[in-house]
Amino acid sequence: MVADGNKPGFSGYAAERDAAADDDPTPASAFSEVSERIGEVRDYAAYYVKARVDKLKVSLRNILVMAALGVVGLIAGGALVVTAVVLLCTGIAQALTALFGGHAWAGNLVTAVLLLGAVGAVAYIAMTKITKTSKERMVHAYEQLKREQRADHGTDVHERAEEQRATGG
């Protein structure tokens, strides 16, 4: 079949059907044409939905693969850090053992005390800094709120509370 010159893009059976429909515009043929078009739209919609579902499945699979790789990477990285720490501790303990005349218990004990003390000091410094920064942010936020209250109402919550205390109410 050749393409219908009057209907660009139509060829074969569809072109013949459309040519026949132009010749016979009965309600039955119009209904038939509408039902065929509805079926075609239904198929296209199903195709679209299937493509979207498949795209979602592929995206989900990619996310799961990346998460699994991340977990494996974290485990490998953690093992590497643990190994490095063990080797460092062993090296320090052996060096101190040599300094203490071959007494391994002394080298191990001093190493443990030094390293635990260092961990405790770092934790204390970090917590102090985090707490201080958090408190400063909170104080700044409340000072800003009080400035906004004074700008909006001519007074702030603390000034209003002092007025209430002064009047006994």
Domain boundaries, the chain: 1-99, 102-169
> Please, which residues have CB within 8 angstroms of residue 33's CB and are 6 or more apart in sequence?
17, 21
Between residues 124 and 165, the one the model is more confident about: 124
DSSP 136-157: HHHHHHHHHHHHHHHHHHSS-H
Between residues 156 and 50, the one the model is more confident about: 50
Mean pLDDT along residues 4-10: 48
Between residues 117 and 155, the one the model is more confident about: 117
HSE-CB at 63 with a 13 A cutoff on CA atoms is 6
Q: Which two tokens stand for residue 165?
A: 């205390």
pLDDT in tens, 96-147: 999 999 999 999 999 999 999 999 999 999 999 999 999 999 999 999 999 9
Q: Which two tokens stand for residue 111?
A: 């190493």
pLDDT in tens, 42-53: 999 999 999 999
Mean pLDDT along residues 144-152: 91
Q: Which two tokens stand for residue 49?
A: 């939905």
3, 15 Cβ separation under 8 angstroms: yes
Separation between Cα atoms, residue 100 and residue 106, nearest integer Å = 7
Per-residue confidence (pLDDT) for residue 1, from 0 to 100 = 42
Phi (first) and psi of residue 140, to 5 degrees = -60, -40
Per-residue confidence (pLDDT) for residue 2, from 0 to 100 = 45
Per-residue confidence (pLDDT) for residue 19, from 0 to 100 = 54
> Quick one: which of 119, 121, 98 has its CA closest to 108?
98
Distances (CA, A) of 23 to 30, 32, 43, 89, 149: 12, 15, 28, 95, 80
1, 13 Cβ separation under 8 angstroms: yes
Per-residue confidence (pLDDT) for residue 5, from 0 to 100 = 47
Statement: residue 4 has pLDDT above 60: no
Whether pTM > 0.75 for this model: the answer is no
pLDDT in tens, 74-93: 999 999 999 999 999 999 99
Separation between Cα atoms, residue 91 and residue 87, nearest integer Å = 6
Q: For residue 71, what pLDDT band results from cuts at 50, 70 and 90? A: very high
pLDDT in tens, 8-57: 544 555 555 555 545 667 888 888 888 888 988 999 999 999 999 999 99
